[in-house]
């Protein structure tokens, strides 16, 4: 941890800090001389002291686990009056510079307990702690030393312009979305001693990714949110075309899905990324004998991950030209990807009629319109191959005929 902290300090005053307040990021910077204007975050601050904790573990797997566990610890041990928000700091326009943590607002009743808790953390854990105090018309950041012999470093808090895109976009590649088999494999391999199930997953993986033959028959992927009719359509396509139907994540990962759904994004996304490579191996084998229909594939994995990593409005998503929307170079490419779309109210009605349990992300789709819009926008921006959108509101037989027409046109079936 000490090496990571020291590497930060020469660039410390160049960093921008972001605090998620009510789902929207607020930004501030620091400098060695005061400036008149106070950032909005601190204008709205409670009377008392604010604190920040940044997780600075050089082992990103253990860092991700610690970050998630730290939230539980803070939620449990902090005074009830203390406000806890996600935060990060980053170097503008610098890939992989984002460091995540938490921002605390403590009033006079909660300040002493908060300070004791943070003093205990900094002695043993991979965290960098700052306190923020108001002095006259300025807010001042004090960077805490890790030993009692050092003095805190002092900086003045100043406003900072919002970046063009959400700061999380700096760290999406091979953290929230994986673009090479080896990257996801290495994450789960490092999990072996802390998550025993990771070893079982690794044993299921194909031995070789690059040399896989392209299937002789077309591969058609059907994408869409829950209750847009994917199951009905994929089964109808299987029967009509005499095709093989596969689903992603593959059935062989089912025993471990609930376990990995509890893990932080880095580990959870690596698990689902490797599921795509297992599905690709199945596609490669089955596609030598018949057409293959796939219920969800990489588009779903990427769209949900991007939309979860980036908060707020869809305009916070990476630019349309960003590398995050590029199909992985070592993952089998389908012949056609169909994205089923449906009016949100109709989709909710269908979900109610089904009466089935929903994943946490599907529940978020229902309660958070911005999240749904981000997922939809990410779907639309992924390319190489891109999705062909089909309206799923007509009766199922009409949707089937429309998709069959597309398949005949694009795949010559």
CATH number at residue 405: 3.40.50.300
- Residue ending a domain, among 124, 147, 163, is 163
Pair 291, 401 in one domain: yes
Q: What tens digit of pLDDT does each residue of 331-346 get?
A: 999 999 999 998 888 8
Report the number of secondary-structure helices (H) and strands (E) in the chain: 14, 13
Pair 94, 208 in one domain: no
Pair 92, 148 in one domain: yes
Pair 290, 189 in one domain: yes
Burial of 354 (0-12, 13-18, 19+ CB in 10 A): exposed
Q: What 3-state DSSP class applies to 143?
A: strand
Burial of 370 (0-12, 13-18, 19+ CB in 10 A): middle
Pair 109, 201 in one domain: no
Q: What tens digit of pLDDT does each residue of 56-104 get?
A: 988 999 999 999 999 999 999 998 888 899 999 999 999 999 999 999 9
Choose among 2, 184, 165, 179: nearest CA to 90: 165
Pair 149, 184 in one domain: no
- Residue ending a domain, among 141, 163, 185, is 163
Which residues have a Cβ under 8 Å from the Cβ of 216 and sit 6 or more positions away?
287, 288
Q: What tens digit of pLDDT does each residue of 135-153 get?
A: 878 899 999 987 766 788 9
pLDDT at 36: 74
Pair 177, 145 in one domain: no
| Torsion of Cα atoms, 296 then 302 then 307 then 309, to 10° | 140
Query: To the nearest 5 percent, what fractions of the chain are helix, strand and coil?
Result: 45, 20, 35
Please, are residues 147 and 87 in contact by the beta-carbon 8 Å criterion?
no
Please, are residues 306 and 213 in contact by the beta-carbon 8 Å criterion?
no
Report d(CA 359, CA 346) in Å as an integer.
Answer: 19
Quote the number of domains for the chain. Answer: 2
Q: What average pLDDT is seen over the chain?
A: 89
Report d(CA 1, CA 129) in Å as an integer.
Answer: 13
Q: Report whether pLDDT(309) > 60.
A: yes
- Residue ending a domain, among 122, 147, 163, is 163
Report d(CA 208, CA 340) in Å as an integer.
Answer: 32
From its phi and psi, is residue 287 left (phi > 0), alpha (psi between -120 and 50) or beta?
alpha
Please, are residues 290 and 208 in contact by the beta-carbon 8 Å criterion?
no
- pLDDT above 70 covers a percentage of the chain that reads 92
Q: 74: domain range?
A: 2-163
Which residues have a Cβ under 8 Å from the Cβ of 92 and sit 6 or more positions away?
16, 163
Mean pLDDT of 277-302: 96
Please, are residues 96 and 22 in contact by the beta-carbon 8 Å criterion?
no
pLDDT at 306: 96
Choose among 110, 127, 9, 114: nearest CA to 51: 114
Least trusted range by pLDDT, from 67-76, 106-115, 325-334: 106-115
Report d(CA 346, CA 209) in Å as an integer.
Answer: 40
Pair 29, 75 in one domain: yes
**DSSP secondary structure code for residue 79 in this structure:** -
Please, are residues 127 and 63 in contact by the beta-carbon 8 Å criterion?
no
Please, are residues 160 and 289 in contact by the beta-carbon 8 Å criterion?
no
Q: Report whether pLDDT(107) > 90.
A: no
- Tokens 């084998």 locate to 285
Confidence of residue 9 (pLDDT cuts 50, 70, 90): confident
pLDDT at 155: 94
pLDDT at 343: 86
Tokens for 385?
A: 């191959």
pTM above 0.85, yes or no: yes
Pair 111, 211 in one domain: no
83: which strand partners? 105
pLDDT at 132: 94
Report d(CA 2, CA 265) in Å as an integer.
Answer: 25
Report d(CA 404, CA 20) in Å as an integer.
Answer: 45
| Torsion of Cα atoms, 128 then 134 then 137 then 141, to 10° | -10
Q: Report whether pLDDT(33) > 70.
A: yes
């Amino acid at each position: 941890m000490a090496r990571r902290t020291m590497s930060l300090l020469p660039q410390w005053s160049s960093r921008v800090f972001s605090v998620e307040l009510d789902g929207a990021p607020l930004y501030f910077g620091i400098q060695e001389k005061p400036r008149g204007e106070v950032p909005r975050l601190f204008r709205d601050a409670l009377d008392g002291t604010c604190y920040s904790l940044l997780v600075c573990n050089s082992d990103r797997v253990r860092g991700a686990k610690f970050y998630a566990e730290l939230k539980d610890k803070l939620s449990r041990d902090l005074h009830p009056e203390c406000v806890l928000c996600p935060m990060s700091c980053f170097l503008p326009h610098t890939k992989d510079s984002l460091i995540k943590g938490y921002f605390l607002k403590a009033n006079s009743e909660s300040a002493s307990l908060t300070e004791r808790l943070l003093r205990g953390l900094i002695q043993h854990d991979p965290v960098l702690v700052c306190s923020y105090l108001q002095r006259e018309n300025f807010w001042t950041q004090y960077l805490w030393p890790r030993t009692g012999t050092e003095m805190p470093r002092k900086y003045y808090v100043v406003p900072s312009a919002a970046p063009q895109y959400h700061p999380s976009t700096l760290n999406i590649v091979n953290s929230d979305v994986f673009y090479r088999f080896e990257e996801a494999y290495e994450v789960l391999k490092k999990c072996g001693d802390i998550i025993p199930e990771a070893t079982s997953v690794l044993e299921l993986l194909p031995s070789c990714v690059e040399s896989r033959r392209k299937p002789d028959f077309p591969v058609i992927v059907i994408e869409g949110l829950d209750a847009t009719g994917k199951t009905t359509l994929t089964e109808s396509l299987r029967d009509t075309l005499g095709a093989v139907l596969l689903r992603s994540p593959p059935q062989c990962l089912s025993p471990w899905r609930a376990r990995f759904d509890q893990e932080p994004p880095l580990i959870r996304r690596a698990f689902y990324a490797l599921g795509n490579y297992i599905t690709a191996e199945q596609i490669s084998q089955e596609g030598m004998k018949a057409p293959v229909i796939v219920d969800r594939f990489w588009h779903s994995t990427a769209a949900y991950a991007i939309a979860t990593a980036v908060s707020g409005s869809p305009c916070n998503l990476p630019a349309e030209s960003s590398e995050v929307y590029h199909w992985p170079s070592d993952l089998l490419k389908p012949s056609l990807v169909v994205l089923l779309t449906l009016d949100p109210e109709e989709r909710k009605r269908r979900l109610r009629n089904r009466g089935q349990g929903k994943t946490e992300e599907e529940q978020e789709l229902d309660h958070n319109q911005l999240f749904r819009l981000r997922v939809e926008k990410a779907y639309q921006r992924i390319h190489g191959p891109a999705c062909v959108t089909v309206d799923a509101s007509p009766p199922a037989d009409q949707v089937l005929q429309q998709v069959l027409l597309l398949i005949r046109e694009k795949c010559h079936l």
